[in-house]
Structure 1
Amino acid sequence: MRSVWVMALAVLAAGCGEREPSAAEQQRMDDADVAAVKAAQEAPPVPVTPDKILYPDIERYDLFGAGCNFAPEGSMAAIVLAQPARGFMKIDGEMETFAPDAGSGDLPLGAKGKYTAGAWSFTLDLASEEGEQDGIETVNFPARFVLKNDRDQIVYQANGIAQCGS
């Protein structure tokens, strides 16, 4: 009988040492739990392979103008056109028009570093070093391109060359 009382007192004493979390601690734990549930529910990004923008596309959609275009490593064809007033990509055979983000960094010839469209956004980051002159009106820069979906997930990224000119 004595051992039963000793056990009961030991269990009660063990429970006395735990304190309730403060309201701020509880809020942090709740926020972490909610974030974990949301992360588990978010679908993984669906990869995108941008189509090449060819000269017939430039003529058809009147994409002429100064700015920068981006071609991924191993390709000479542009997949992105970044101009001062708009940006363009061809995704799943459809030409997408992007608006420049006025708060993003400036690229040569008035192009911007970030552009957004309804379901997409992209960033074009030129290497800080000087580009190489390529012809009379163009300069080639090492560059990094990232395309994100409307959930801010990366769906395509590549290193390559940004050719800026008019």
Structure 2
Amino acid sequence: MGCSSGVYRRHAGYAERTLDGFRERAELRGLRFVHRPCEGTYDSAAATLGRILADRPDTTGFVVQNEGAIGPLLGLLRAGGRTVPEDVSVVAVCPAAPAEQHAPRLTVVTAPSKELGQLAVDQAMARIAAMAEGHEPEDELVLMPPELVVRESTAAPPRRGARRAERP
């Protein structure tokens, strides 16, 4: 479940880079995936999950790049009889703190927040200094490697059909 549709219409770099990187790595590993924007509300998460499971009922994992959709997704999966991580894995692309507030605690892909904060301050100060000297500030794109923190929400995919066969 991706960011809201408006984020993609604005061509937000972080959303597009995340999707492009995910697509590239999935293809390298021979994984099938479907990308669906989600507005981050319960109703949107329910509709998005419904579409995903209607198209691909054997889905074994979700990567969620929308903090607002995480809680609804987990609740909807439980209500639908799917447990995390036994039936489906969930990975959140968000800061670490929100991922720790769910049960199970979520595996997360996050940015190095301390380094990002320092970089933001450094760039702001460089812009201020350039403007004070009468120069046009230069924008600099700096990409920082994400961090993967594996927690309780991911596991090997279940054997095909095992979930339905093992449960009464």
Name the TM-score class by shorter chain: under 0.3
Give the TM-score, by structure 2 length. Answer: 0.23
More strand as a share of residues: 1
Query: Rg larger in 1 or in 2?
Result: 1
Relative to total residues, which structure has the larger helix share, 1 or 2? 2
The alignment's TM-score, normalised by the length of structure 1, stands at: 0.24
